[in-house]
């Protein structure tokens, strides 16, 4: 759980627990006041402050305290309450029976506060406290001299305690769940936004490159002397457009080559001590090796000699790779491959490993001496791309869960999910308490059977309610939960005895209604409470305790229901607020990811185009004569840029250098990438190696290498036309 979510959860808990403590203490005001005459002054003052002052203070301050202090306050609050109970047992000794509810409150709120304050393992601690409390109260009920609480109220303290602990458990888990949902949504939507932004930016930049740079180079390679002025003008326009796109804030044409080189260098991060940063040098097209600042750098394993450095390296990945020579080489390769950025979904692989896989590459010649056709099958070279967990798809990767991703954060359930094992144990403890009360009440009852039957009904319906998974309780179950307390009264009350604990059905019914309130059925819970009250008032006077006692008990129970209702409402508002915040966070994450994705794509494409084309365009724009050599360089640069646009997956090391060499020898080279779903680097590396080998081997004619669309039997086809057959193919 994030710090913010923890803080919000703790504040909600502190407020509700504080309000509950103060409210229930107020209901027990008279017995508390009565104790003051029997207790030392220090205890009286401590009890007053602890009972009223501390919960209000904690609740109020919770919205201002930082998380650590708030946890400390809650922990201190809980410990203080437990100490008050202990001190009451030891110091006061002769506690009036009517003060038991107050003791119950202390015992309930104390563990709940501790549970809210301790981030891990608090469920066990709280349950342990509840069990210990049960044992203590039971021992008191058995006749120990320390606490003379009424037996039925002592037993009743267990479910009250359990309820408060359950509240703490549920809120914490609900917040964690929301946090996980938000994190997943942020990750998915962020990745998707980045991919979409990259694609949009790619289209934009590609259009720019086509309309300006590619056209200018094409003109330069083919234009006659008569149109040389037009060619130079076109080169100047291309440079201006490129500069303006690289830095939109500047006037077109104002970005000097050295400025952009500095910009690229600034983006480079030292990936590891001992691994030199590749200097970004504007390499003249046609050169076979870039200039590096370290003589031995280009000899490092996996570092190509013929690729310009990439302008940007992921800082976090670079830091992670600082340890170990292997990691250093991997980072160096990343820094060296302009288009090698999508590798976060794939492992890097030594290109030499691809050679061992070449045995799986099937070559076929349909007409010996005329055409050589080579295909690469999906299973021959590499395993299928791995999908990372949680839908963390790389840029450009199609997300199979797109529809769900688009929904960002789902609307949280307003009801609380009481499906945790700990909460069910607490529920079982509650049921056990009331069942015990019912059994103990049986001997005193005029008709025991209805009471036992009512206890059975309570247990069955309680199990049904707790067994339901999901947020808001289904309506049929909720109605069942609302009417059951009424039936409990109608069944058990007429035959109940005169003992106070014989009215166990009131507490049991209210506990059930509390569950309804927590599960998003507040209205039904209070309808059930009204029915319970009416039934109790109508039925009870016939037999059992006096109406005044019943009303006192009802007030206490309904006060608990009110606390739980306030708690549920508070949580509901809190959850909604959390959801709003999360949605905002997701929007921010999407925006951030989109900006980062677009920037990365722009840097990659423009940096590459800038390095390949700018030197030539500047020479042409400056008026250098269009010699055959310059035309050839322009033609090669145009072809290299076109490969990058049309064959993204293939136009990486070592293919560009091999293609440049083949074209320089007069070979017509066509590279195509028609994959809709990019292949992993692990799959692409041997394919590129294969293509490069064929490009290096071919001496004339035409060669076409194509990455096929996904779903085909083959990954790659290479077709070589070794004869001089350049006639148009108009069948």
Q: Footprint of another protein on this chain (CB under 8 A)?
A: 206-207, 210-211, 214-215, 218-219, 222-224, 226-227, 230-231, 234, 366-367, 370-371, 373, 635, 638-639, 642, 645-646, 668, 670, 672, 674, 676, 702-704, 706, 708-709, 717, 719, 721, 725-731
Three-state secondary-structure class, residue 175: helix
Q: How far is the CB of 602 from another protein (least distance, A)?
A: 17
Q: How far is the CB of 216 from another protein (least distance, A)?
A: 9
Q: How far is the CB of 397 from another protein (least distance, A)?
A: 15
718 forms beta bridges with 374, 705
- CB of 370 or CB of 625, closer to another protein: 370
Q: Under a CB-based contact definition with an 8 Å cutoff, are residues 543 and 493 in contact?
A: yes
Q: Where are any strands of DSSP class E within 520-663?
A: none
The tokens for 121 are: 């393992």
Q: Closest Cα to residue 105, out of 163, 173, 160, 174?
A: 160
* Cα end-to-end distance, the chain, whole Å: 66
- CB of 181 or CB of 215, closer to another protein: 215
- CB of 352 or CB of 365, closer to another protein: 365
Q: What angle do CA 723, 355, 689 make, to 5 degrees?
A: 50
Q: How far is the CB of 215 from another protein (least distance, A)?
A: 5
- CB of 70 or CB of 223, closer to another protein: 223
C-beta neighbour count of 695 within 10 angstroms: 26
Q: Under a CB-based contact definition with an 8 Å cutoff, are residues 688 and 650 in contact?
A: yes
- Alpha-carbon distances, residue 80 vs 45, 52, 77, 108, 554 (angstroms): 13, 12, 5, 12, 28
Question: What percent helix, strand, coil does the chain show, rounded to 5?
Answer: 70, 5, 30
- CB of 341 or CB of 721, closer to another protein: 721
- Alpha-carbon distances, residue 588 vs 182, 186, 392, 592, 598 (angstroms): 12, 9, 18, 6, 15
Q: How far is the CB of 267 from another protein (least distance, A)?
A: 26
Q: How far is the CB of 231 from another protein (least distance, A)?
A: 6
Q: What angle do CA 199, 200, 202 make, to 5 degrees?
A: 60
Three-state secondary-structure class, residue 530: helix
> Cα separation of 435 and 412, whole Å?
35
Q: How far is the CB of 342 from another protein (least distance, A)?
A: 19
- CB of 331 or CB of 692, closer to another protein: 692
- CB of 267 or CB of 373, closer to another protein: 373
388 CB burial (10 A radius; 0-12, 13-18, 19+): middle
- CB of 639 or CB of 657, closer to another protein: 639
- CB of 416 or CB of 698, closer to another protein: 698
- CB of 329 or CB of 706, closer to another protein: 706
- CB of 224 or CB of 258, closer to another protein: 224
Q: How far is the CB of 340 from another protein (least distance, A)?
A: 21
- Alpha-carbon distances, residue 253 vs 218, 244, 538, 614, 619 (angstroms): 21, 7, 93, 12, 15
The tokens for 193 are: 């936004």
Q: What one-character DSSP code corresponds to residue 703?
A: E
The tokens for 550 are: 């019943």
Task: Estimate to the nearest angstrom the gap between the alpha carbon of 527 and the chain centroid.
Answer: 39
- CB of 227 or CB of 549, closer to another protein: 227
- CB of 447 or CB of 668, closer to another protein: 668
- CB of 294 or CB of 726, closer to another protein: 726
The tokens for 360 are: 């799986």
Q: What one-character DSSP code corresponds to residue 299?
A: G
Q: Under a CB-based contact definition with an 8 Å cutoff, are residues 82 and 110 in contact?
A: yes
Q: How far is the CB of 638 from another protein (least distance, A)?
A: 7
Q: How far is the CB of 191 from another protein (least distance, A)?
A: 21
Q: Where are any strands of DSSP class E within 553-682?
A: 668-673
DSSP letters spanning 19-77: HHHHHHHHHTHHHHHHHTTTS-HHHHHHHHIIIIIHHHHHHHHTTTS-HHHHHHHHHHH
> Cα separation of 17 and 501, whole Å?
27
> Cα separation of 62 and 174, whole Å?
19
Q: Where are any strands of DSSP class E within 314-463?
A: 362-367, 371-376
- CB of 561 or CB of 639, closer to another protein: 639
Q: How far is the CB of 214 from another protein (least distance, A)?
A: 5
Phi-psi sector, 317: left (phi>0), alpha (psi -120 to 50), beta:
alpha
Q: What angle do CA 164, 165, 169 make, to 5 degrees?
A: 120
- CB of 603 or CB of 673, closer to another protein: 673
Q: How far is the CB of 685 from another protein (least distance, A)?
A: 21
Q: How far is the CB of 649 from another protein (least distance, A)?
A: 13
Q: How far is the CB of 604 from another protein (least distance, A)?
A: 16
Q: Which residue has the tokens 């083919």?
A: 222
Q: How far is the CB of 719 from another protein (least distance, A)?
A: 4
Taking the CA of residue 381 as centre, how many other CA atoms within 13 Å lie in the half-sphere pointing to its CB?
A: 29
> Cα separation of 381 and 357, whole Å?
6
Q: How far is the CB of 284 from another protein (least distance, A)?
A: 21
> Cα separation of 62 and 711, whole Å?
58
- CB of 344 or CB of 373, closer to another protein: 373
Q: How far is the CB of 210 from another protein (least distance, A)?
A: 6
């Amino acid at each position: 759980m994030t710090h913010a979510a923890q803080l919000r959860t703790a504040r909600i808990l502190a407020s509700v627990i504080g309000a509950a403590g103060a409210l229930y203490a107020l209901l027990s005001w008279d017995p508390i006041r009565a104790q003051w005459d029997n207790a030392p002054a220090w205890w009286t003052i401590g009890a007053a402050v602890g009972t009223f002052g501390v919960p209000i203070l904690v609740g109020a301050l919770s919205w201002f305290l930082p998380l650590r202090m708030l946890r400390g306050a809650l922990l201190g609050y809980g410990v203080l309450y437990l100490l008050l109970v202990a001190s009451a047992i030891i110091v006061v000794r002769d506690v009036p029976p009517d003060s038991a509810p107050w003791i119950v409150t202390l015992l309930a709120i104390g563990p709940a506060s501790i549970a809210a304050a301790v981030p891990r393992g608090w469920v066990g601690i709280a349950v342990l406290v509840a069990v210990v409390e049960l044992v203590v109260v039971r021992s008191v009920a058995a006749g120990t001299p320390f606490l003379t609480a009424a037996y039925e109220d002592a037993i009743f303290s267990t479910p009250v305690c359990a309820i408060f602990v359950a509240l703490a458990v549920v809120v914490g888990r609900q917040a964690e769940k929301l946090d996980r949902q938000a994190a997943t949504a942020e990750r998915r939507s962020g990745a998707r936004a980045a991919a979409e932004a990259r694609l949009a930016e790619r289209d934009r930049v590609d259009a720019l490159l086509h309309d300006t740079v590619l056209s200018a180079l094409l003109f330069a390679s083919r234009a006659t002397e008569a149109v040389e002025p037009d060619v130079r003008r076109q080169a100047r326009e291309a440079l201006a457009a490129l500069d303006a796109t690289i830095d939109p804030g500047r006037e077109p044409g104002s970005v000097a080559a050295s400025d952009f080189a500095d910009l690229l260098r600034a983006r480079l991060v030292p990936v590891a001590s001992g691994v030199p940063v590749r200097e970004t040098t504007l390499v003249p097209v046609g050169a076979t090796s870039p200039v590096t600042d370290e003589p031995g750098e280009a000899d490092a394993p996996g570092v190509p000699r013929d690729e310009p450095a990439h302008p940007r390296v992921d800082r976090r990945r670079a830091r992670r790779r600082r340890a170990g020579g292997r990691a250093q080489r991997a980072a160096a390769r990343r820094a060296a491959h302009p288009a090698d950025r999508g590798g976060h979904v794939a492992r890097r692989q030594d290109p030499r490993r691809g050679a061992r896989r070449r045995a799986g590459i099937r070559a076929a010649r349909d007409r010996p001496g005329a055409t050589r056709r080579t295909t690469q099958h999906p299973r021959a070279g590499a395993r299928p791309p791995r999908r990372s967990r949680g839908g963390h798809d790389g840029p450009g990767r199609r997300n199979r869960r797109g529809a769900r991703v688009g929904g960002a954060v789902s609307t949280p359930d307003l009801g609380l999910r009481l499906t945790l094992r700990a909460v069910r144990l607490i529920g079982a403890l509650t049921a056990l308490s009331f069942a015990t009360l019912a059994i103990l009440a049986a001997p005193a009852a005029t008709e025991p059977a209805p009471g036992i039957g009512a206890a059975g009904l309570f247990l069955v319906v309680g199990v049904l309610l707790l067994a339901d998974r999901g947020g808001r309780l289904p309506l049929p179950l909720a109605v069942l939960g609302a009417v059951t307390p009424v039936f409990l009264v109608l069944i058990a009350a007429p035959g109940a005895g005169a003992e106070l604990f014989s009215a166990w059905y009131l507490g049991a019914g209210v506990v059930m209604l509390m569950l309804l309130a927590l599960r998003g059925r507040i209205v039904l819970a209070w309808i059930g409470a009204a029915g319970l009250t009416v039934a109790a008032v109508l039925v009870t006077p016939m037999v059992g305790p006096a109406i005044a006692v019943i009303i006192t008990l009802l007030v206490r129970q309904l006060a608990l229901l009110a606390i739980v209702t306030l708690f549920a409402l508070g949580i509901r508002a809190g959850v909604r607020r959390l959801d709003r915040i999360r949605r905002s966070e997701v929007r921010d994450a999407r925006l951030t990811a989109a900006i980062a994705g677009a920037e990365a794509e722009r840097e990659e494409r423009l940096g590459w185009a800038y390095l390949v084309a700018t030197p030539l365009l500047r020479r042409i724009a400056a008026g250098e004569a269009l010699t055959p050599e310059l035309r050839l360089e322009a033609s090669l640069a145009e072809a290299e840029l076109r490969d990058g646009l049309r064959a993204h997956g293939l136009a990486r090391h070592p293919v560009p250098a091999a293609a440049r060499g083949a074209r320089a020898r007069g070979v017509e080279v066509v590279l195509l990438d028609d994959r809709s779903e990019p292949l992993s680097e692990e799959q692409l590396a041997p394919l590129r190696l294969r293509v490069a080998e064929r490009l290096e081997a071919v001496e004339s004619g035409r060669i076409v290498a194509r990455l096929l669309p996904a779903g085909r039997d083959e990954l790659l086809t290479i077709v070589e036309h070794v004869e001089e057959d350049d006639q148009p193919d108009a069948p």
